Structure 1
Amino acid sequence: MSHGVDTPACTQHPAAGAESGERSRSRAAGLATGLGLCVVGAATAMGIGRLLPAVSPLLIAIVLGALVANLVTVPGWIRPGLDFSSKRLLRVGIALLGLQLMFSDVLALGWGVIAVVVAIVVLGMAGTMYAGKLLGLSWTQRVLIACGFSICGAAAVAAADGVVDAKEEELLTAVALVVVFGTLMIPTIPLLAGALGLTDRQAGMWAGGSIHEVAQVVAAGGVIGGGALAVATVVKLARVLMLAPVMAYLGAHERRIAKDSRMDVTRPPLIPVFVLAFIGCVALRSAGVLPAGVIMQAQVVQTALLTAAMFALGIGVRVALLRSVGARPFVLAAIGTGWVAVISLAGVWLVS
């Protein structure tokens, strides 16, 4: 009799195991294919970037991804590879970004400029968050836009998403806004700097303090000329360094929410691992123990990883999605861009 009871249960295991194995193979195929697509997209973007040095491969990758998403149908089964690229590869790329920054470079700016950088990030985020609240946007959407526009563009947007877990459409909207408004700032800042009679150093500080992406800052600094590029880059990297305390604050905020919630949810880490890795890379570079060749190779790897991640994010940027979110995020992006630029300009005048 025991065989009559046990046999049905026993015969279910091979079927369940086969189904599980099929799902695993399907996920592995989606992971490999999606990742392969992002590698091709990153290689293409970096190739175009070599032909157009003034344009960041990260921005090119976002545009290429958006073109792919809006011109062809991207199969859903490759989503595991796209998610892996937009999250895992991105976090490794952000960590390696720390190897491009030394504490001594930031300290060389002087305490006045450092105070201005802190004010840009803190006041920029506070003002953008407040304006977004008045516009009726969600807290997570406001956080993503505020981080992207106040710290370091799409990388900061994605980093913040890794802490606050925003909706996918909020993440993709914030990334698209960084591309649009940051690119518009490349010719705008040099033109306004000339009209205001700023010196090359002042214009460089303003560009570094107000433009969203590192590559966009480099492009604007090159347009200004003179000694603007060097100071613009260092000021911008000082803003990038603010990524660590801001993510730590957001992590603490999320932990408080999880603690106060009656739901049984997992509390996020106080400081995300990739942020700790970023700080570690800055410290490693600052210690001077890495050969120049290693730093150069790390920069290539970091750019490739972030470019692949941006391509994956770009695939999610669809025209229909941007239409569906309405005008309010675009209004907030315009307000945030102008607000950060005003704070930065005021700081330039104060310390010059």
Structure 2
Amino acid sequence: MKPPVFSPLEKDCLAWLTHRIGSYRNIGRGLLVCITIALATTFIADHYGGPTLLYALLFGMSLHFLSDEGRCREGIEFAARTVLRLGVALLGARMTFEQVGDLGIGPVVTVIGSVAFVIVAGAVMARLLGLPRDLGLLTGGAVGICGASAALALSAVMPRHENSERNTILTVVGVTTLSTVAMVVYPLIASVLELANTQAGIFLGGTIHDVAQVVGAGYMISDETGDTSTLVKLVRVAMLVPVVMVFIWLFRSSRQAEGDNAKVPMLPSFLVGFVVLVVINSLGLIPETVSDGMSTLSRWCLVTAIAALGIKTSFHKLAVVGWKPVILMVLETLLLLFVVLGVVMFAGLGI
């Protein structure tokens, strides 16, 4: 039996199809590793407590050798970029414009002012500590907006260099750890200062980094505090949109210097998705069950992306950085604490 004879066009189509199948297979291997880590760390966090994102980072870092292994590399890169951006976009399903309006102008202005202040202060303090301005902006954005999620979103539009991923991992580890500490300590501060439920909610939502820790801290005090802190936190999450746009403009020349392929569009797809979901949710077009499902999917995407970033980073690379980035994030956290707490107490917010 004679072998089939293919035309040049058919050969090109077969070659393209073979290449795509091989590419999907490679993506699948690495992505499956990241999903497995996400499943394992979520199980541990749900049953034994602790921050899921931090567990995913540490588990991923223990498998760093896979980042040098050709069969998994493509899937790990896919999780660290595409899955990450999907997770950030789906955060928009958590909030509506009506929720923001219910807070009143005071908390909204406080959030906007404190976020801008911490980001600028982060850049200044980074230079004073002898650190790159980029790291100060990244950590300031993560502390000011929404912790690990903001760090991942902002790093996606910042220029790439040899320390980019290391800085992102450092920021995620730092803000996740500080957020967990704040979840325990800040409710005690609110109790000692005898803040009213609404005041405590504004304080917790305006200062704690990650959404999960804000919810946990708020409902430790009361249901009213939990509801208020969650709404204030969602306003901080919404600040991700203008801050990402500012970062795109700020780093436009740096990214253009990397070449045409490295340019970021004026409106990144994940940012468009975030805004669109907020608008659709504000119009009441997303059923509550669907919104909850999208929030859950967002959480899984972010945990999977964190696992991928962990795999791409080694303990050795983190060890050579020193304590200055840690000091920077602690200072930013304390600055945000004093600013928001001062406004709550002396401006009479929530009374």
Give the TM-score normalised by structure 2. Answer: 0.86
Find the residue that maps to 1:271 and give its secondary structure: coil
Distance 1:49 1:138 in 2: 34
Superposed displacement of residue 123, structure 1 = 0.7
Q: Does 1:320 align with 2:313?
A: no
Query: For 1:64, which of 59, 66, 76 is the aligned residue?
Result: 59
Give the aligned partner of residue 42 of structure 1: 38
Distance 2:313 2:208 in 1: 22
Give the aligned residue type for 2:110: V
**Residue deviations 1:301-349, cap 9 Å, x none?**
2221111112212334543222111111011011111011111112222
Query: For 1:213, which of 207, 210, 213 is the aligned residue?
Result: 210
- Cα–Cα, structure 1 residues 119 and 303, in superposed 2: closer, same or farther, change >3 Å? same
Is the 1:99–1:282 contact (alpha carbons within 8 Å) kept by the matching residues of 2? yes
Distance 2:81 2:262 in 1: 19
Is the 2:208–2:214 contact (alpha carbons within 8 Å) kept by the matching residues of 1? yes
**Residue deviations 1:258-308, cap 9 Å, x none?**
56x697775422232211110000001001012222212212222211111
Give the aligned residue type for 2:69: G
Find the residue that maps to 2:267 and give its secondary structure: coil
Point out where structure 2 has 5 or more consecutive residues left out of the alignment: 1-10
Point out where structure 1 has 5 or more consecutive residues left out of the alignment: 1-13
Superposed displacement of residue 200, structure 1 = 2.5
Superposed displacement of residue 102, structure 1 = 0.6
Distance 1:325 1:27 in 2: 35
**Residue deviations 1:2-30, cap 9 Å, x none?**
xxxxxxxxxxxx9xx99x99998875554
Is the 1:254–1:267 contact (alpha carbons within 8 Å) kept by the matching residues of 2? no
Aligned residues: 332
- 1:248-287 to structure 2, matched below 5 A, reads 248-257=245-254, 267-287=263-283
Query: For 2:173, which of 151, 173, 176 is the aligned residue?
Result: 176
Give the aligned partner of residue 7 of structure 2: none
Q: Does 1:76 align with 2:65?
A: no
Is the 1:95–1:277 contact (alpha carbons within 8 Å) kept by the matching residues of 2? yes
Q: Does 1:301 align with 2:294?
A: no
- Percent identical: 30
Give the aligned partner of residue 339 of structure 1: 335
Structure 1 stretches of at least 4 aligned residues deviating more than 6 Å after TM superposition = 20-26, 262-265
Give the aligned partner of residue 4 of structure 1: none
- Cα–Cα, structure 1 residues 316 and 203, in superposed 2: closer, same or farther, change >3 Å? farther
Distance 2:192 2:44 in 1: 33
Superposed displacement of residue 146, structure 1 = 1.1
Distance 2:273 2:43 in 1: 29
Superposed displacement of residue 105, structure 1 = 0.3
Is the 2:53–2:303 contact (alpha carbons within 8 Å) kept by the matching residues of 1? yes
- Cα–Cα, structure 1 residues 228 and 67, in superposed 2: closer, same or farther, change >3 Å? farther
CA-based RMSD of the aligned residues comes to 2.6
Q: Does 1:139 align with 2:139?
A: no
Is the 1:124–1:343 contact (alpha carbons within 8 Å) kept by the matching residues of 2? no
Give the aligned partner of residue 5 of structure 1: none
Query: For 1:51, which of 47, 52, 55 is the aligned residue?
Result: 47
Give the aligned partner of residue 222 of structure 2: 225
Distance 2:112 2:81 in 1: 27
Distance 2:145 2:234 in 1: 9
Distance 1:333 1:100 in 2: 27
Give the TM-score normalised by structure 1. Answer: 0.86
Give the aligned partner of residue 197 of structure 1: 194
